[in-house]
């Protein structure tokens, strides 16, 4: 039985979702739908958009902030008493993200999206 449709706000300039198995192009659909296991830890939730997702205006695509801006992500998600060490923890977060989300391996999302006019 198909699941109900869900509306997700996607950047208008974001690329269309690639085919399953094709290289990730930064469409952001999977991370906007629900966080990956690392995103669940960072977001402290299982549903909804991942807090680590970052829109990169210059590249016109979404990227995992745990890879692109780990110090900023940690600065946002860590308790205030731990934020001073975010810079030292950032390389470890980047390594974990590289392993957990396996960027460049291929799109593993079976989601489909339909763009609606603004």
Nearest to 106 by CA among 1, 17, 21, 4: 21
What is the rounded distance in angstroms from the CA atom of residue 96 to the CA atom of residue 111? 24
- Three-class SS state of 79: coil
Residue 107 lies in a domain: no
Helices (H), the chain: 29-33, 37-43, 65-68, 70-77, 86-101
Average pLDDT over residues 52-64: 94
Report pLDDT for 48. Answer: 92
Task: Kindly tell me if the per-residue pLDDT of 62 is higher than 50.
Answer: yes
Q: Please give the model's pTM, rounded to 2 decimal places.
A: 0.83
Report pLDDT for 73. Answer: 96
Report pLDDT for 1. Answer: 45
Task: Kindly tell me if the per-residue pLDDT of 106 is higher than 80.
Answer: yes
Q: For residue 98, what are its two tokens?
A: 């590289």
Total domains, the chain = 1
Asked whether 20 and 109 are in contact (CB, 8 A), the reply is: yes
Task: Kindly tell me if the per-residue pLDDT of 95 is higher than 90.
Answer: yes
Domain that holds residue 55: 29-101
């Amino acid at each position: 039985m198909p699941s109900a449709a869900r509306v997700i706000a996607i950047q208008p300039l974001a690329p269309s979702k690639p085919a399953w198995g094709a290289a990730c192009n930064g469409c952001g659909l999977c991370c906007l739908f629900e966080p990956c296991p690392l995103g669940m830890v960072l977001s402290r939730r299982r549903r909804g958009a991942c807090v680590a997702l970052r829109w990169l205006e210059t590249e016109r695509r979404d990227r995992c902030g745990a890879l692109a801006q780990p110090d900023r992500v940690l600065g946002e998600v860590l308790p205030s008493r731990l934020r001073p060490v975010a810079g030292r923890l950032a390389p470890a977060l980047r390594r974990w993200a590289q392993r957990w989300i396996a960027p460049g391996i291929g799109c593993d999302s079976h989601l489909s999206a339909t763009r609606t006019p603004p």
